């Protein structure tokens, strides 16, 4: 069996979903909800269309973020007064983003996501 067939077999196995969950959880714990940046392309590997991969990623990262928040809170790593300042417009942004997701094409969504990943990567390397 060649590598491509082995990869296809892995993607359609339970092991792949455990792997995606584990990788997303680790990234979420390290980078905040940045685990979604990893889970989206991994979900797309399962032939899930881009919009569903993005929405599913949110559903995956929500419980991971709750657990990470509890752990970080217990350890005193959260600046709640600062964090609370971002929530009102963050909630509005989530509503607008969900509304936009329904209205843009999968192709445009992938391009926007790719550009954000590239800009974020370059920014991180420059710091």
Span of 8-12, 19-23, 119-123 with lowest mean pLDDT:
8-12
35 CB contacts (<8 Å, ≥6 apart)?
23, 24, 25, 26, 27, 28, 29, 60, 61, 64
The reported pTM is 0.80
Distance of CA 85 to the CA centre of its chain: 22
> What domain count does the chain have?
1
Q: What are the structure tokens assigned to 121, written together?
A: 């990567």
Average pLDDT over every residue of 62-73: 92
pLDDT surpassing 70 at residue 126 = yes
* Domain of residue 63, residue span: 3-126
Rounded mean pLDDT of 46-64?
92
Span 13-17, average pLDDT = 83
Q: What is the pLDDT of residue 10?
A: 74
């Amino acid at each position: 069996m060649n590598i491509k067939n082995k990869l296809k077999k892995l993607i359609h196995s339970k092991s792949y979903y455990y792997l995606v969950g584990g990788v997303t959880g680790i990234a979420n714990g390290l980078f905040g909800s940045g685990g979604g940046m990893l889970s989206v392309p991994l979900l797309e590997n399962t032939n899930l269309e881009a919009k569903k991969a993005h929405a599913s990623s949110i559903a995956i990262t929500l419980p991971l973020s709750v657990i990470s928040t509890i752990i970080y809170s217990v350890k005193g790593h959260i600046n709640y007064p600062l964090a609370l300042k971002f929530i009102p417009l963050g909630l509005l942004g989530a509503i607008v983003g969900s509304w936009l997701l329904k209205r843009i094409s999968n192709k445009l969504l992938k391009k926007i996501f790719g550009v954000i990943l590239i800009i974020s990567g370059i920014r991180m390397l420059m710091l």
